[in-house]
Structure 1
Amino acid sequence: MEVTLFINLPLFLSFYFLAKNFVRKLQNLPPSPFPTLPLLGHLHLLKKSIHRTLSKLSDRYGPVFLLRFGSRRVLLVASPSAAEECFTQNDIVFANRPRLLVGKHRGYNFTSMAWASYGDHWRNLRRIASLELLFSHRLRILSHIRVKEIQSLIHRLYKDSTVIPDQAVNMKSAFFKLTFNVMTRMIAGKRYYGEGVENSEEAKRFQEIVSETGQLGAEKNVGDFFPFVRWFGIKGSEKKLIDLHEKRDKFMQDLIEQHRSNESGFGGGERKRTMIEILLSLHDTEPEYYTDENIRSLLLVRYLYFCFSF
């Protein structure tokens, strides 16, 4: 029995790798590193300094090659001309988002603009963001927010330098807070970093959510690459994703309710309207589409964009 097993195992592995290579050629797939291990795929090839590892693989297998991370296929494009072809001639082919756990739990089950599949719903969300929230005229109207926040940052840096001369300044942190203050004032008319918010419970909630989002964004969701681990229940990163989404969702809903109870808004008038007020006015005309969930998802896309930009 032991001898038979010893003989059959190499035969099975040989047949497996030959069959995989044959199927890949039939499907006209790009070249792929050998071997592709069962379950793991090419994860065994990833070392620290991933960009260097991928660069070496590109030198060996060409500017376009296929990797498999667990159960997921990953196309690596290392050529500017090939990348241009992907996003011009074949843009619709590559338009859909991967079905990752983060899209399920943060993207309202893949319905937010960042995670929705290419189609009518995604195009409508993009239209709303482009024409109602981020078009050039509105950004010019809100330019005073950017000016005031930059002035506030310069004033704070100058004040700190007079108290402790020659003290090193973490400019990444300073620009992080500046950018978030600009964004949150445009979205909700509020700022959550710097002077005047030290004792604000709402600011503390926001800062905790941003911190947790950044920490969780650096973690890998094993279930994205090995779906079978989810058979054992929701654990680890997925549970954290669910808890964080509930916190963010509750925070955004509280802001929406605050705006509903204060119809005059922050400053009043068309020129001073926040993004929440704009979306609530659209809700009055099309309540069946501009639901609170859709409003929250549009606003959270802006928050998440800045969370992962730093």
Structure 2
Amino acid sequence: MKLFLPFLASIVAIFFAFLLKFLLQILKGKRGKNTEPPQAKGRWPLIGHLGLLCGPELPHRVLGGMADKYGPIFTIKLGVHNVLVVSNAETAKECFTTNDKVFASRPKSMAVEHILAVAPYGGLLATSAQDH
């Protein structure tokens, strides 16, 4: 009997802790605004959505169907990387005018060294004739 009361008290405390956590998540979900775009369903563990884009249907048609389902802005996974897909002209304009510093100043990748048209914000977009 001596061991039963502390055991019962700890079980009741754990139950109330989980109940409190659940209620706080419900209240936070109703109050908080989700600012992240939706993630498209159907991704595979390692390759992400590459299987959908390499299927029998053309990639732009697959992305158009996803845009109809998830809205004008959503994310997909290409391998382990998240990719933001924007299929609305107004949203794309906002990305490249209002938030252009955020989009242009993303971390430098290997593509920056190999592709001349990609440069950090304020950088040169093409090399001069003397560099060739």
Bin of the TM-score, shorter chain as denominator length: 0.5 to 0.7
User: Could you say if the C-alpha distance between residues 98 and 60 of structure 1 is closer, same or farther in structure 2, counting changes exceeding 3 Å?
Assistant: farther
- For the 8 Å contact 1:41–1:71, the answer to whether it is kept is yes
Matches of 1:45 and 1:28, distance apart in 2 = 26
Matched, 1:40 2:43: no
- For the 8 Å contact 2:108–2:120, the answer to whether it is kept is no
Matches of 2:79 and 2:98, distance apart in 1 = 29
Matches of 2:43 and 2:34, distance apart in 1 = 16
Which residue in the other structure is 1:85 paired with? 94
Offset at residue 26 of structure 1 (A) = 9.1
String of CA shifts for 1:205-247, please: whole Å, max 9, x gaps.
xxxxxxxxxxxxxxxxxxxxxxxxxxxxxxxxxxxxxxxxxxx
Offset at residue 80 of structure 1 (A) = 1.0
| Matched AA of 2:101 | I
- For the 8 Å contact 1:36–1:42, the answer to whether it is kept is yes
Query: Out of 109, 118, 131, which is 1:115 matched to?
Result: 118
**Per residue, is there more strand in 1 or in 2?**
2
Question: Where in structure 2 are the equivalents of 1:1-310 lying within 5 Å?
Answer: 28-46=35-53, 47=55, 48-96=57-105, 99-104=108-113, 106=114, 114-119=117-122, 122=123, 125=124, 276=129, 295-296=130-131
- For the 8 Å contact 2:76–2:84, the answer to whether it is kept is yes
- For the 8 Å contact 2:49–2:79, the answer to whether it is kept is yes
Offset at residue 75 of structure 1 (A) = 0.8
User: Could you say if the C-alpha distance between residues 45 and 117 of structure 1 is closer, same or farther in structure 2, counting changes exceeding 3 Å?
Assistant: same
When the two structures are superposed, what TM-score results if normalisation uses the length of structure 1?
0.28
> Number of aligned pairs?
99
When the two structures are superposed, what TM-score results if normalisation uses the length of structure 2?
0.60
Offset at residue 27 of structure 1 (A) = 7.4
**RMSD between aligned residues:** 3.0
| Matched AA of 1:45 | L
| Matched AA of 2:120 | S
Matches of 1:80 and 1:115, distance apart in 2 = 21
The percent identity for this pair of structures is: 39
Which residue in the other structure is 1:265 paired with? none
Matches of 2:97 and 2:70, distance apart in 1 = 24
The secondary structure found in structure 2 opposite 1:93 is: helix
User: Could you say if the C-alpha distance between residues 71 and 56 of structure 1 is closer, same or farther in structure 2, counting changes exceeding 3 Å?
Assistant: same
Unaligned runs of 5+ in 1: 1-24, 134-274, 277-294, 300-310
Offset at residue 102 of structure 1 (A) = 4.0
Offset at residue 99 of structure 1 (A) = 4.7
- For the 8 Å contact 1:97–1:116, the answer to whether it is kept is no
Offset at residue 98 of structure 1 (A) = 6.8
